[in-house]
Structure 1
């Protein structure tokens, strides 16, 4: 009897071990922009990221520095856009405040027909936490102002993004 119980327990343990699947953690593959604005969560899946290489050959001084643009759209049709500038390539992890010329966020809310911008904000900043040749991820937070309708300042909280980036010339 004891041999039979040991054999059955061994069989149960062996079967339970062999039946478990290896779960692959693919959370790093997810691409998104998410944030809280006025206690509402906005989510954009699969945003597009483009890094523009400086063009020193023309007369336009506005394209003489590297620029990264991230754009996305929520399921409700709201448009989100970030623009970051750096003194030289490559972009590096760090804080990119909206007080520096070229760094900004623009949101066009389809549901309320409002346009929000970080222009003039003293506390809005985008932070790149990780960047490589293929993807960029980071966080953002601060105050946005409404350019349409004269609404007051609106706080963005818990902003985060992860996107695939491509590099092209300006």
Structure 2
């Protein structure tokens, strides 16, 4: 628990600006939340901006006159565990991915620069006998959250 743990990250503001200015997303990008119905009048949900949450957030933003002319850009974060064993001795990392809700789902799934890694959060190694130890579990959780906090404060 006293080892040094490295957190790699890139500025999320720059990543988001690049996504917003990417001309490849031009025809697959929603500038505002929307509601859509099929021919039978049934509500259809397809992309992030067609959901109720996006619609409700836009209503809240619209109540503030200082936000006139602005665009709602929901930020989507995700993480999963990956193991890197080449030249590192089997280390676990948690890549943190960022996307924006304005980009259509098919673009996100097609890996067309709509989901980008913005951080690699280091996870401590331990022997199997200590992996359930309450002190180690607490330390691992604190390391994860402090890594996210450090990343967020770097901007």
Q: Identify whether the pair has TM-score above 0.5, normalized to the shorter chain.
A: no
Q: Hey, which of these two has a bigger chunk of helix by percent?
A: 2
- TM-score for the superposition, normalised by structure 2: 0.25
- TM-score for the superposition, normalised by structure 1: 0.23
Q: Hey, which of these two has a bigger chunk of strand by percent?
A: 1
Taking CA–CA contacts closer than 8 Å with sequence separation of 6 or more, which of the two structures ends up with the larger relative contact order? 2
